[in-house]
Structure 1
């Protein structure tokens, strides 16, 4: 008895879910040179609840339809006049717009070579003739569900990527622009070099410059534990807190003490931050700073012929204990004095097998580099280039480098 005569009207066989409407409304293209087979597939699909079905009688006809409106699934016969199914598969898979289009082959050829050829040409699945109603409906449902899932994941990925790019741009905007650095040179007589790069789209490092008044300016570097979104959110939290604590910029010890209490109350258990916070008094030529377990700053005195020295960075990392008092350290910051601060990534790289650069290795490298006749920007670029040569690409980390030099230029009024 002909299959068309035994189809009875029943309720759709796909259990309703949040994707059911999308499944039933999916565009399905049936490609077969036999009008009877096309009618049979149409009857099966319509009875199951599908509402958008198109038909093509050969491969070229199918490509013409797809060119106008890409379907969600193609049910494709292999042996047809004008253009067969293998060629259709090849063309669809070579087109970026249709390369992920699911293709369900239906054929009477079931040899191993036929199956291999079909899948090598890009077929997603195959059913053998004579077509079994429940088998074809089950396979159609699976491939449409997968396509909807992939579409959702792609949309989610694109949305997350867009949001991460916006967050990355916000982090970059926190860093001073070249124009702002030139303004600091004019206003405070400071030659400032700056480099920031996250290990992924966004990172847990942050640095900033905070003018206080005409003769004083604060700057800092901080590094939150972890990487990615969680660490980046904490940098935004820190930036927000600092904006509201401007009265503390001239007292680094008090600022870290209060910031520590804030972070202890707001960070998740086990999270913490290391930080250096500086206040530079241009008029007094004095630099005051307080440390919370960060990397030791590198200082070169006003006599530029001397090497850089490592300063103290002892102090409890922020957020680990509720009450901790931080101390100020002061030293002269006269003309030609330079200070370089950096995140731990810069020293946690191998210079040779099982030997890391370390703080002393960085000190020597910076001392040698700063004796060269190059701009501060070029010297920092060389440090970054050395870092990338040594960095393990499978174990990358956020990198921040900030260098300030008192060039003692006249400040604007």
Structure 2
């Protein structure tokens, strides 16, 4: 049996108080392969609609008792039946009657006496439209269902990613006064933050992986895994060497060094610091992402900004593959330290719809110096939302802010 033989013919309800009109219309439509039912008044038509499903209704206006307008109004007020297309077939030809029909929800208006070929053409058109709408509705429901499944999977991936990120309690245990502004573009993020401590050395990183969403999240999980392996397992403590080994391992894991992985250009940018509590030293290494420190000048009392530049190359296979550098500086009490991705500065917005820019972010950090860290996070978030306006968020955002206190637990730091 062919597939087409299982398709049920469309069913049409003819409502007319003239038996001759019903007979003529019925023959025309049955010849075209439609299934036809009849009603000689409004009450009978509404009874039919309660008992059966129709693909189209041909409705006369002038009938004794309930006229066609009232029948149409009742049908269209019922959510179950309001999508059934109704064509008025009537001898009323004045403009007001036609307008009233369309106002009530009719899809067409055919005047008697009608042309057989024209009527069949209009009926076919409306039934095809109805079938197309029903198919679209089915497809939309199918898409919604699949979207729910996909969203559910992504939300589960988010839980896995969040489990890999350091908790607020862990961050506070290492550096109590801090904030993390973490704004994924999608449910999961290609940006990540990381921290660990080995003896009196605290490590902190903020990274930006290639892409966002699921691809970025997969890269972020790889990045976190590599940092933990290099620092916690292999006990590599120098920031430049951590990045060197991270790059080598990522190239190896993604097979970027051979023909199989030649097309994979994924990688990450990162700002990585180590804070040696006993020596009061901060060491920084960066792959494209800089480090910013804001402090009070001890002589002038002015708020100053110090920026440590990153190497202009990613953690990935790249044309430039030099060893990463490191810079070391003494840190002072009340220094504010910022590690971040480029998602904030690259966001378009404002009156001129341009990028926020790194320079604007520098000035924003500087202006926030006197505020508590939790309030700094709030101000940064509010400014981002204000700047973005009605624009879409273009990328993931992460900013880690650290306030260097005068002491850590029983250790007098400064």
Q: Note closer, same or farther for the CA distance 1:387–1:38 as it changes in structure 2 (3 Å cut).
A: farther
Q: Note closer, same or farther for the CA distance 1:355–1:398 as it changes in structure 2 (3 Å cut).
A: closer
Q: Secondary structure at the match of 1:275?
A: strand
Tell me, which stretches of 5 or more residues in structure 1 are unaligned?
1-14, 226-230
| TM-score between both structures, scaled by the size of structure 2 | 0.69
Summarize the alignment of residues 46-85 of structure 1 with structure 2, pairs less than 5 Å apart.
Answer: 71=53, 73-79=55-61, 80=63, 83-85=66-68
CA contact (8 A) 1:252 1:279 kept: no
Give the equivalent residue in structure 2 for 1:146: 132
Give the equivalent residue in structure 2 for 1:135: 121
- Distance in 2 between residues matched to 1:287 and 1:142, nearest whole Å: 72
CA contact (8 A) 2:192 2:208 kept: yes
Give the equivalent residue in structure 1 for 2:13: 30
Give the equivalent residue in structure 2 for 1:105: 87
- 1:191 equivalent to 2:186? Answer no
- Distance in 2 between residues matched to 1:139 and 1:219, nearest whole Å: 63
Q: Secondary structure at the match of 1:397?
A: coil
Tell me, which stretches of 5 or more residues in structure 2 are unaligned?
237-241
- Distance in 2 between residues matched to 1:57 and 1:339, nearest whole Å: 84
CA contact (8 A) 1:175 1:208 kept: no
CA contact (8 A) 1:29 1:54 kept: yes
Residues paired across the two proteins, number: 381
- Distance in 2 between residues matched to 1:318 and 1:235, nearest whole Å: 14
Q: Deviations over 1:238-261 (max 9, x none)?
A: 134235433124513321343356
Larger Rg: 2
Give the equivalent residue in structure 1 for 2:169: 182
Give the equivalent residue in structure 1 for 2:338: 340
Supply the RMSD in Å over aligned alpha carbons: 4.7
Summarize the alignment of residues 12-411 of structure 1 with structure 2, pairs less than 5 Å apart.
Answer: 24=8, 28=11, 30=13, 32-34=15-17, 36=19, 71=53, 73-79=55-61, 80=63, 83-87=66-70, 101-108=83-90, 109=92, 114-126=97-109, 130=114, 134-135=120-121, 138-139=124-125, 141-163=127-149, 165-166=151-152, 169-170=155-156, 172-173=158-159, 174-175=161-162, 180-185=167-172, 187-199=173-185, 201-202=186-187, 205-209=190-194, 211=196, 216-225=202-211, 231-242=212-223, 244-245=225-226, 246-249=228-231, 251-259=242-250, 265=256, 274-278=268-272, 280=274, 283=277, 287-294=282-289, 296-301=290-295, 306-317=303-314, 321=318, 324-325=321-322, 327-331=324-328, 336-348=334-346, 349=348, 351=350, 353=352, 357-372=356-371, 374=372, 376-391=373-388, 393-394=390-391, 396-405=393-402, 406-407=404-405, 408-410=407-409
CA contact (8 A) 2:339 2:399 kept: yes
Q: Secondary structure at the match of 2:125?
A: helix
- Distance in 2 between residues matched to 1:178 and 1:82, nearest whole Å: 73
| TM-score between both structures, scaled by the size of structure 1 | 0.69
Q: Note closer, same or farther for the CA distance 1:369–1:62 as it changes in structure 2 (3 Å cut).
A: farther
- 1:370 offset after TM fit, Å? 2.9
CA contact (8 A) 1:293 1:315 kept: yes
Q: Secondary structure at the match of 1:316?
A: coil
- Distance in 1 between residues matched to 2:387 and 2:216, nearest whole Å: 27
Q: Note closer, same or farther for the CA distance 1:289–1:24 as it changes in structure 2 (3 Å cut).
A: farther
CA contact (8 A) 1:197 1:400 kept: yes
Q: Secondary structure at the match of 2:167?
A: helix
- Distance in 2 between residues matched to 1:158 and 1:344, nearest whole Å: 33
